Amino acid sequence: MALLQISEPGLSTAPHQHRLAVGIDLGTTNSLVATVRNGVSVVLNDAHGHGLLPSVVRYLKDGSTSVGLAAQAQAAEDPHNTIISAKRFMGRGIKDIPDLSTMPYKFVDAPGMVQIKTAAGVKSPVEISSEILKVLKARAEASLGGELVGAVITVPAYFDDAQRQATKDAARLAGLNVLRLLNEPTAAAIAYGLDNAAEGIYAVYDLGGGTFDISILKLTRGVFEVLATNGDSALGGDDFDRRIYCWVLEQAKVHTLDDRDKTLLMARAREAKETLSEHTSAHITVVLSTGEVVNLTLSEETFNEMTASLVNKTLLPCRKALRDAGLTAEEVKGVVMVGGSTRIPRVQAAVGDFFGQTPLTNLDPDKVVSLGAAVQANVLAGNKSGDDWLLLDVVPLSLGLETMGGLTEKIIPRNATIPTARAQEFTTYKDGQTAMSIHVVQGERELVADCRSLARFELRGIPPMVAGAARIRVTFQVDADGLLSVNARELGTGVESHIAVKPSYGLGDDEVARMLQDSYAHAQDDMTARNLAEAKVDGRRLVDATETALKENGATLLDEAERTQVEKLLTGLHAALDGYDLAAVKRATEMLNQGTVEFAARRMDMSVKKALTGQRLDALEL
Amino acid sequence: MLDFSRDHFALFDLPASYALDGARLDQAYRDIQSEIHPDKFAHAGEAEQRLSMQWTTRVNEAYQTLRRPFDRANYLLQLQGIHAMDANNTSMPMDFLMQHMEWSEELADAKAAQNVAVLDRMEKTLRDEAREFQAQLADEIDQKHDYPAAGETLRKLRFTDKLLAEVGNAYEEIA
């Protein structure tokens, strides 16, 4: 077989060196980064040996930020500028956020997503989250001694499209190449399943700081198939803290709290909750700004009483998920507990009762998500792993369109395996109508007003016809990240116009560029150098992929002339990668991309054929 | 070049019939997914990534269609040129409709009275009825090849499935 071997200065000559990839759990309360090292998934610690990074960002007047423990320690002293639990605001408008009064922030109502006014200017939740991701990226690169190829970022399974898009934007803003958005319970299932060689039906109950997910999975010989998922993206440990907070106000008969007191009392409430996971009572002592001293004892019994409705609130999604999966609780072989809030004894008891078995608590509920994400990142980056496994995940909430009368027409049902696509035809309502307004929504309710609005766009240029004569085909495509794109096309007369949309909460490329510019102006970085570096990473990835493909199938799937052509384009890209001309790198990458389309198609055909042949052989063996 | 428009059964190398070897479908689906899923192409070139997504989307659709008895029957009828679920295809026997109207009322009453025992009974009756229709479909499609008759059975099955789903929702409203 004719092999192509090109070595290049500045690039490793070993074509299959270990690619550095990480899994990041961007949590409401804490965030972590993990990687696969010598075949084992490990959490990466900071210089002080801490694995958990508190998801707290403090903005200072000079525009700089502090993130993590240091920021957390200053929260009560600087409540307006120290943002805790920013994940709760991702992809959310101001009207979506409950308990505004218990939070000290200066919210700014902005189109699409709420923003917060800080000493360093108005910040969006995407920017705040990106500060956390930047710290984790730096930690990983320091620890692994090189630049990351990419990262898998986890999101709650019940996150809707706007929240997913916001998370991906935050990662881009932090300079991370997102290999995949991965659902948190699915990540936990990977970590648990691979470790325990688990087979059968498993439930993952994931109660984090601000979100709740329940996923039902079927594990069979290396296939992780999500059957159904449900949850509440605004329910978590924070709500338990808030119950304690309100109880303290009531007991102590305190009415006016300043923002320092609010932050302080919320922190004490959290500590009390944590104490109650180990003890039967907890003391809460707070000295308020007025000098008043609050001193209370909270018993486990009282705590259980005041939070019973929250615990119950998690059981309805469990019931719904089981029903969607067509299963009963008895058919579940094991219940994996994930998220810090599953340490609450009453939560464990309620879940045990519901599923009729003791939940599995033998893994660290804080770390398991990042460990699973790291395993996935390792595979996606192209590092060969010993065991071959496959992940089949679903879309959590139905996706649809607004039709006449403010009703929802579902196009993609919840729990459809991704990637998935579905098309539906619509028609015009009035004679001579030349435009159609398309409103994309997500949710299970009948009325559009009760669902989440994701995007609105207009299809123009419909030829004037009588009402009902035009045929508009609207196609929804959900990719492997669970992200939606929509396009509409007029078919009636053969005239086609189409548009692809991103949810209105998603940031445009120009917005990301502006935000990057803002943050880098501060860091005195050079945008051009950064763009060049990114283009080179893309180019190198394509070189790698193409060389591997040529080595594997070049001799069989391409004739001499085709092979020479691909090799020529490869040489061209190699040359461009040696230089410093951004446009040349982009051009050469695009040319190689175009030049390998046919090769890619043949390889894909071969893969499908190979799978089917394997299937026939299996059938024969039976 | 592989034919993107091959029917769902051919895609999984299965005979085009209502009776289905579920284990074989699952295995074929997983075998194909193991080769073409986007996770296998995350580090590949743009063209391969796009193709992988298109193929996986196609395979997912085929699998979901074949896996569910209702969708599988509907699809088989479509292959025979019969669109049983068209809006203008509504012929239904009167007694069947009357029975379902009665059940609907019973369900509404049970919901109002929060009567779980009635829901349990209805769920069982409807499950039995759905199973009966499925057996009938197998006979009409695979044995008798009487597709118009199968179309009517399929429309009945949809009524039953819908009511079953409503019973399911009622449980949740009561809970």
B127-145: pLDDT as tens digits: 999 999 999 999 999 999 9
- DSSP code of residue A446: S
Bridge partners for A485 per DSSP: A477
- Quote the mean pLDDT of chain A: 87
Q: Which of A78, A131, A206, A366 is catalytic?
A: A206
A25 catalytic, yes or no? yes
In the predicted structure, residue A591 carries a pLDDT above the cut 90: no
Q: E strands within B7-113?
A: none
What gap in Å lies between CA A535 and CA A526, rounded to an integer? 15
**Percent of chain A topping pLDDT 70:** 89
Burial class (CB in 10 A: 0-12, 13-18, 19+), B136: middle
Torsion of CA A255, A258, A262, A265, to 10 degrees: -70
In the predicted structure, residue A6 carries a pLDDT above the cut 60: no
Residue type for A52, please? L
Give contacts of B 36-65 with A, CB under 8 A: 36-39, 42-48, 51-53, 55-57, 60-61, 63-64
In the predicted structure, residue B170 carries a pLDDT above the cut 90: no
The answer to whether the Cα torsion of A103, A105, A110, A115 is positive or negative is negative
pLDDT tens for each residue of A381-428: 988 765 678 999 999 999 999 988 888 999 999 999 999 999 988 888
In the predicted structure, residue A619 carries a pLDDT above the cut 50: no
Q: What is the pLDDT of residue B1?
A: 37
Report the relative pairing of strands A452-459 and A407-412 from DSSP bridges: unpaired
Name every chain B residue with its beta carbon within 8 A of the beta carbon of A603. 48
Pick from A333, A383, A353: which is nearest to A152 by CA? A383
The pair phi, psi for residue A472, each rounded to 5°, is: -105, 120
Helices (H) and strands (E) counted in chain A, each on its own, are 16, 27
Q: What is the pLDDT of residue B91?
A: 74
pLDDT band at A7 (very low <50, low <70, confident <90, very high): very low
Q: What is the pLDDT of residue A202?
A: 97
Tokens of B74: 């509907």
Report the relative pairing of strands A212-220 and A53-54 from DSSP bridges: unpaired
Query: Average pLDDT of A328-353?
Result: 96
Bridge partners for A108 per DSSP: A115
- A593 with B1: Cβ contact below 8 A: no
Tokens of A35: 């990687």
In angstroms, the first-to-last Cα distance of chain B is 54
Can you tell me which residue has the tokens 């090109």?
A6
- DSSP code of residue A552: I
- Angle among Cα A422, A423, A425 to the nearest 5 degrees reads 155
pLDDT band at A498 (very low <50, low <70, confident <90, very high): low
Burial class (CB in 10 A: 0-12, 13-18, 19+), A424: middle
Q: What is the pLDDT of residue B58?
A: 92
Helix axes A315-325, A300-313, angle to 10 degrees: 30
In angstroms, the first-to-last Cα distance of chain A is 36
More confident residue, A595 or A67: A67
- DSSP code of residue B90: -
What gap in Å lies between CA A535 and CA A531, rounded to an integer? 6
What gap in Å lies between CA A29 and CA A14, rounded to an integer? 41
Query: Average pLDDT of B36-65?
Result: 90
In the predicted structure, residue A325 carries a pLDDT above the cut 80: yes
- DSSP code of residue A550: I
In the predicted structure, residue A510 carries a pLDDT above the cut 70: no
Query: Average pLDDT of A598-606?
Result: 86
Q: Which of A78, A131, A161, A184 is catalytic?
A: A184
Name every chain A residue with its beta carbon within 8 A of the beta carbon of B37. 390-392, 480
Quick check: bond before A419 cis, omega within 30?
yes
**Best residue in A543, A607, A609, A613 for a mutation probing chain B (most B CBs within 10 Å):** A607
What gap in Å lies between CA B143 and CA B137, rounded to an integer? 9
Q: A82 and A74 in contact (C-beta within 8 Å)? A: yes
Pick from A398, A339, A348: which is nearest to A366 by CA? A339
Name every chain B residue with its beta carbon within 8 A of the beta carbon of A541. 43
A458-472 burial, b at 16+ Cβ within 10 Å, e below that, comes to ebeebeebeeeebbb
What gap in Å lies between CA A123 and CA A171, rounded to an integer? 16
Burial class (CB in 10 A: 0-12, 13-18, 19+), A561: exposed
Residues 6+ positions from A30 with CB-CB distance below 8 Å:
A52, A53, A54, A55, A209, A340, A366
